[in-house]
Structure 1
Amino acid sequence: MLPRRLALVTAPQAGEAFGSWPDRMAWFNRCPPGVMAELFGLGLRGPSADLRPRTFGVRANDAVCDAVYAAADVTALATERMHLTVFDQGPLVLSEVLAAGDTAARATAGSGWVEVYGSRTCPLCLLSSGGVWPLWWKLACAGVCPVHEVVLLDRCPSCRCVLRWGGMRPRVLSNASRRAPMSCASMVGRRPCPQWLPMVRARSAPPGVAGLQQRWLEIACGRVRPVLGGVEVSRAEWFAAYRACVVLVRLGLPGVLGRLRGAPAWWRRVLMGEREVRGLSRARFGWGPASAEAATVFLAVVMPVLEAANARELGQCLMPLVRAAADAGGLGAKPLSQVAVPAVFARAVATQMPVNRRMPSPW
């Protein structure tokens, strides 16, 4: 096997998404992304020759790693770090992502806790990096850029589509059209949207939320051992608690907003709109934030709860979420039955269940 096959190679950047790197390679080589994928030897073969596998960007197998190494001299470890597997048993459960991929022909933007096909973005980061799309921008909890302290952009102001979304066929890597790394590039008809994203004005994030997003990222990337209520827990347990808090907030709307001290008026608009998008079905209540704005609000609400210093403080922080969900009658269907929260979190929730009346456990 030759160690290198392509003459013009741009090195992947730390934290870059796998889909972003071939896009940049294709742009510099002046060819469509589907052609670049073939040059990489990724072997896109399905119902049509331009259809990427459902594991594309999610999990790298040996064949993908070997093909990328042969084409671009990029190691298997570097290739694996560009895939969503780095977030497995943390903000993502990989088996759930792959199971959702089974219905890729009817793909839905932002289902679950990750944007498999599209992405959010910080226009300022995109400009300064020359078109690098970090992997964490795909996560549903990506709301704020910690560097520039702006709310991430999730939809194009021109075409109104999710950024880098493939239109009606999101799994297609076009063999006909090029797409600039700093453009929206969602498929509108037969052509990618040309909106130049660095021209879009980013909105300033609420004070302090950029720091919350940075601490969330430190745990998501495994750089910090998470602590919950004064007890060390695994990444999977910490993010299960985060999911549970998101569900409790949704169940308690709109009454929960009156229980949160200092909640600004715009939170109601964002969260009520987000709940409408996610629907009232039990399944969708377990999905991640539907927009960067909603992710920003959830960060502001949930992170202070999970950063409680001890179990007693954790229970007190959970009180408005649990009581509002109980008052709204949202706990009867056991909405947290599929969320494997740690024992310290379950006990804290139990201490805040309303007294003097029968109330079913959320589990």
Structure 2
Amino acid sequence: MRSSGARRRLPAVAVPCPEEAFDSWLWRAAYRIGVAPGFFARALGLDLSGVRQVRPVGFGVCLSLEAAERLEACTGIPAGRFTGMQLANVAVVGAPVGKLTVSRLREWQADQWVSVYGGRVCPLCVADVPVSRLWWRLSAAAVCPVHRCLLVDECAGCGRRVQSGRAQLGMLPVREGALDPGVCGNVLAGSAMGRCEARLSDLPVTVVGDILVVWQRPLLEAFAGRPVRALGDEVSPRQWFAGVRLVTELVREAATAAELEDLGMPSSGRGPGAWLCSVAGEVRGRVGSPPASALEAAFVLRTAGSLLTGHDPQDAAGRLRSWADRLVRSGAAKTVLAPNRRDVPRLVAAAVGW
């Protein structure tokens, strides 16, 4: 982003909420003063392109120090607050390397298990304040720890991923006027400017209780930048998340139904976590793909996450070794294991024979 010259301090700007994503704040702050998000972005001095819409490729992913300082000058909000709202600065995520293009950004978000544009949502949270939390953009995010409900993936109004088409590929509307951050806002198919008006707070909620909150706790610890244990060893957030991605591939491709049941996965529609039964078969064969739903994320947290963090380290290492051996014998090791070597914790790497 290039400098757009000296900027005046705006008289009133919405203050970012804790854990809020950058695009969520910009959309919300623009609505508060009655202007389009793209128009507001230009007023803040962000160097963007386009007339009717602006299309910054890395919007919400990374922010230069120069741009953050311009935002501080315009809003009075510290520059560090804005840089901390970018996906590339999340502790579990590896920053993209080189110049960002649309294709490279798509590859990066799939590799890092994040969703750049849109994400999951807790309808009960946004009923209070229409804020999209940054950790909801993690593909492994599954549950709201406050309301004990599954995060919602799909809008009941348009049938698409929640807010995924609101700013597709970072395109920020300039001429539409103020856009309510409390609605889905996806651009409707076959309509030049029509948007989904379904209110996020009205989306159906599935209450799952405390068990999934416990399974997700290590993910939120890692998101907050705190070290997490993997096979008994304290590791960095990024290493732990890399370990989860690798173990997920092993579970998907090598673990038997009996082994999953032995790990605590329900085998019938009864008891705690019974709602997970429907997803166990759906994750097979999705090598390299991040969890496509909150339900799949719950499966990942219950299997890979708990195996690394809450299981007996020696037993867990033995299971990983057995699954890795199966993949080697089947000839699938190169496809499943090789792409997941980066940042993996040393004990996890040793368990799979690296």
Task: Specify the TM-score bucket, using the shorter chain as the normaliser.
Answer: 0.7 to 0.9
* Within-5 A mapping of 1:25-36: 25-36=29-40
Alpha-carbon distance in structure 1 between the residues aligned to 2:322 and 2:104: 41
Aligned to 1:125: 125
Once the two structures are TM-superposed, the CA of residue 108 in structure 1 deviates from its matched residue by: 8.8
CA distance in 1, matches of 2:326, 2:153: 29
Mapped partners of 1:263, 1:314: distance in 2 = 15
User: Does the CA-based 8 Å contact 1:41-1:68 persist in structure 2?
Assistant: yes
Residue 71 of structure 2 is aligned to residue 68 of structure 1: yes
Summarize deviations over 1:227-250 as a string: whole Å, max 9, x none. 222222222322221110111122
C-alpha contact 2:320 2:352 (8 A) present in aligned 1: yes
Q: How far is 1:42 from its partner?
A: 0.9
Structure 1 residue 59: Cα displacement = 1.0
SS at match of 1:170: helix
Aligned equivalents of 2:110, 2:334: Cα separation in 1? 25
Equivalent position SS for 1:16:
coil
Measure, in 1, the Cα distance between the counterparts of 2:319 and 2:309.
10
Q: Structure 2: which 5+ residue stretches go unaligned?
A: 269-274
Give the aligned partner of residue 115 of structure 1.
115
Q: Is 1:348 the equivalent of 2:347?
A: no
Equivalences for 1:178-217 in 2 at 5 Å? 178-188=178-188, 189=191, 190-205=193-208, 207-217=210-220
Deviations 1:207-236 (A, max 9, x none): 5111221331112221x3222222222223
Q: 1:323 Cα shift? A: 6.5
In the TM superposition, what whole-angstrom CA distance separates every residue of 1:134-193 from its partner, at most 9, and x where no partner exists?
A: 111111111111111111011111111122223694321011333212111111132221
Q: 2:299 aligns with which of 297, 300, 308?
A: 297
Misfit runs of 4+, over 6 Å: none
Distance (whole Å) between structure 1 residues aligned to residue 334 and residue 119 of structure 2: 35
Q: Which stretch has the larger CA shift, 209-218 or 230-239?
A: 230-239
1:231 aligns with 2:233: yes
Q: Deviations over 1:79-119 (max 9, x none)?
A: 111111321xx4322126x77x5235996997331110111
- 1:208/1:268 CA distance change after superposition, 3 Å: closer
Contact 1:256 1:325 in 2 (8 A): no
What is the match of residue 22 of structure 1? 26
Is 2:103 the counterpart of 1:94? no
Query: TM-score, normalized by length of structure 1?
Result: 0.82
- How many residues are matched? 335
User: What's the C-alpha RMSD, in Å, of the aligned pairs?
Assistant: 3.0
Question: 1:149 matched to which residue of 2?
Answer: 148
Q: Between the two proteins, what is the percent identity of the paired residues?
A: 29
Following superposition, the deviation at residue 124 of structure 1 comes to 0.8
Could you say if the C-alpha distance between residues 157 and 138 of structure 1 is closer, same or farther in structure 2, counting changes exceeding 3 Å? same
Paired with 2:154 and 2:107, the residues of 1 have a C-alpha distance of 14
* Matched residue SS, 1:242: helix
